[in-house]
Amino acid sequence: MQILQNLIHLLEESEWRRSKAYLAGALLLAGLVIVYNVREAKGFVVPEAMDQAQLARNLAEGKGYVTEFVRPLSLKLIGEKRHQEMLKEAEGTVPPEGEAPGTPSVSDGEDETAQPEILWYAGLDGAERDHPDLANAPGWSFFLSLAMRALPFEFSIGSESFSRYQPEVLIGMINQVLFFLSAFVLFLIAGQLFDRTVAWFATAVFLATDLLWQFCFSGLATHLVILLGLLLVWCLMRLERGPKASGEIRDGNGAKGGRGYYVGYSIICGLLLAGLTLTEYSLGALLVPVTLFLAFCLPGRRTISVGVVLTVFVLCVLPWMLRNYGWSGHFLGLAGYAWWQGTDLYPGNSLECVLKDQLVRVPPGILTKKLLVNADEILQNEILRMGGSWLSAFFLVGFLIAFKNRSLNRLRWFTLGSLLLLIVVQALGHTHGSDLDPQVNGGNLLVVLLPLVYLFGAGLLYQLVDRWQLDFLGAYYYVGFLALLLTCLPMIFRLLPPRESPRAWPPYHPPLIERIGEWFEADDLLMSDMPWAVGWYADRRCLWLTRSLDPEFYEVSDYHETIRGLYLTQLTSEKRFISDILGGGPWGRLYADVFLNQEMPEGFPLNNVNEDFFPDQLFMTDWKRWSQ
C-alpha cells in the first residue's frame, strides 16, 4: 500500500505531474494506430501507388529505374526519338528550323493524315526487356526502394486465404512514420509562431484528420511531400527571422546576420524544393512563391538567398530532366502531357494509349475550359472542406484579421499564394486517375498545405476565444476539447461498425493476378486494362490496351514484341453496354463477342480462353498455359 501511495504522490506532486498529459496522449495515439491498422488498413486502389511500388521493387532488386507498366505513348515517344537519331546518323539530316532535336511529333490541327508517318517501333530492340519509366517522378520510388532493402518485404502471396498484401501493409506503416514526423515538425513551427496551446491543438487536429490516415495506406507519396513541405516552411521561417531571432551568433564580436547563415539555409531550401519536385513534378510550381517570399521578406539578403536556392534547385533537378529528354524528347517525360489529359481531344486515359496517331496539340481554348471546369469544382467542393475539417474555413476567414506578428502575416500570405497557385496547377493537371477518388489520389496537391491551413485556423480560433474572456477554470482546455471532438467526428464514424473489407475487389485480387504471372516467363509481355496491378502483383511486363486492335495491337506484337496474354477485368466488363462496350473501342467488343457469342476476331493470335474467369473477366493466351 505504501508503494501505491508513493506512486500517487509522484504523479500528483512531483515533476512527473506534467508528464501525465503527455503519457495519456501517447497512449491514445498508440491505441488509435492499433485500432486503425487492424480495422481500416486496406490494399492499394490507386493505380499510381501500384505503379510506383513496382518501380521501387525494381530499384531495390538492382534492375534500375525500369517499369513493368508499359504505356503505348511511352513506346511511341521512345521510338520517335530513336527514329530521329537514326536519321541524323545515317543521312546527316537536321531537324526543321525551330524544332529541338528529338522533339515528339505534334500536329497543330485535326488533320493527322497530313503528317508523315513515323514508325514508332524504329530503333526499338524487341529482345530488350527493360523499359524505362517516363511517367513518374523518382523520389517516392527511390525512398521506397531504400525501405525495401532495409525491411523484410515479402512479395510472394502464395495463398488464396489472405486479406492484406504484406508489402502494402509495410508501406502503409512507413507512411504513418512520416505522418507522425510531420506532426512533430508542425508542432515545432506552431510553437514558434503561436503559443503551446495553439501548437497542441493544431497538431491534434492534424493527427485526427481521417483523410490523412487514408493517405497512409493509399501507397502514395503524400506524407513524404507533406513532411518535405513543412521542413521547407521551417527553413523559410529561419531565413525570415534571421540569425538574431534564431539565437545564432556568427563571430566573437556579436555580429549577427552573417552570410554563411543565409547561404546554409538557402541551400537546404533548394534541396527541399528539388525533393518536392522530384517526388511530385507539379510541386515544382512552389518555386514561384518561395522565390517571391525570399525576395520580399529578406531585405539585404534577398539576392544571395534567391540565387542560392535557384542554383541548388537547378543542379539537383536538371540531371533527371536530361535523362527524360534523352529517352523521350521531353524534360518531364509523359508527365509533360498531363495538361492535355482529360480534355475534349484526349478524354479519360486515351492520351497514354496513343501509339500510331500523331499527337494533336491541344489549343489554348480547350486548356482554358479544362482549367475553369476543374477550378470551379475545387473552389466549390474542396477548399472549404480541406481535410474534411471545418478548421479550413477559419483559415480563410482569418484573412479579415491581421496578426501583430510580422512573421505570421508573411507566412500566411505565402500560404495563400501557394494555395492559389496549386489550385491552378491541380486543375490543369487533373487526369483520369483523379476521377477514381476525388480526394485520395496523387493529383491532390492542396493536401500538402493542410498543416499550415490547420495552423492558422487554430490561431484564429484561439484569438476569438481570448476575446470571449472566459474566466472559469480550464476554459481554454474545454473549448479546445470540444473543437477537437468536432474535427474528429469523421475519424470516429469511420472506426464505428460496420467494418469494410480490406480487399479492393473488384477488380484487384492479388492471388489471382500472381497466379496469372506464374503462367508466363519473366520475359513475356502481356496486355491488360490494369497493367499497373499486373506489374505489381504478378511482376510481369504488361502493356496498356492500345486504342485499336488493327493495326496497333498487331504492330506491337509483330514489330516490337509478341504479346503472350490478354487480361480484361471489370474495368472493361462493367462499363455501360451500348456506349462503352459496344461503341467504346475494340476491347469491350472483344469481351462481348467472346463471352456472349463465343466468337474470335479473325486472325487473332490469342485464341485460347480460360472460362474460369467468366463472367467478370476475360483471360486469353497463345496456348493453354494454365493446363501446364
Same domain? 442 vs 580: no
Chosen domain end from 443, 468, 495: 495
Residue 209: which of 408, 36, 39, 411 has the closest Cα? 36
- Of 239-253, 439-453, 523-537, least confident by mean pLDDT is 239-253
Same domain? 468 vs 518: no
Same domain? 610 vs 476: no
- The tally of domains found in the chain comes to 3
Same domain? 364 vs 477: yes
- The yes-or-no verdict on residue 256 having pLDDT over 50 is no
The pLDDT value given to residue 245 = 57
The pLDDT value given to residue 113 = 39
The pLDDT value given to residue 114 = 40
Give the pLDDT confidence of 85-106 residue by residue, as tens digits.
Answer: 888 877 765 555 444 444 445 5
Same domain? 487 vs 529: no
Output the pTM of the full model.
0.90
For residue 66, tell me if it sits in a domain.
no
The pLDDT value given to residue 99 = 45
- The yes-or-no verdict on residue 303 having pLDDT over 80 is yes
Q: What is the mean pLDDT of residues 131-144?
A: 95
Domain limits for position 518: 510-627
- The yes-or-no verdict on residue 472 having pLDDT over 70 is no
Burial 70-109 (b: 16+ CB within 10 A, else e): bbbbbbbbbbbbbbbbeeeeeeeeeeeeeeeebbbbeeee
Instruction: Grade residue 437 by pLDDT with cuts at 50, 70 and 90.
Output: confident
For residue 139, tell me if it sits in a domain.
no
Same domain? 580 vs 461: no
Task: Report which DSSP code applies to 131.
Answer: E
Q: Would you call 247 exposed, middle or buried from its count of C-beta atoms within 10 A (0-12, 13-18, 19+)? A: exposed
Three-class HEC string of 498-543? CCCCCCCCCCCCHHHHHHHHHCCCCCCEEEECCHHHHHHHHCCEEE
The better pLDDT of the pair 91, 124 is held by: 91
Concatenate the DSSP letters of all residues of 190-249 into one string.
Answer: HHHHS-HHHHHHHHHHHHT-HHHHHHHTTT-SHHHHHHHHHHHHHHHHHHHHHHHHTT--
Same domain? 485 vs 517: no
The three three-digit cell numbers of residue 504, written as one number? 479492393
The mean pLDDT of the chain is 85
The pLDDT value given to residue 8 = 55
The three three-digit cell numbers of residue 37, written as one number? 491498422
Same domain? 518 vs 488: no
CB atoms within 10 A of CB 195: 11
Same domain? 470 vs 556: no
Q: What is the share, in percent, of the chain residues with pLDDT greater than 90?
A: 50
Give the pLDDT confidence of 26-77 residue by residue, as tens digits.
Answer: 887 788 888 888 888 888 999 999 999 999 999 999 999 999 999 999 999 9
- The yes-or-no verdict on residue 555 having pLDDT over 50 is yes
Same domain? 460 vs 590: no
Chosen domain end from 469, 495, 521: 495
For residue 102, tell me if it sits in a domain.
no
603, amino acid identity: G
Q: What is the mean pLDDT of residues 208-224?
A: 93
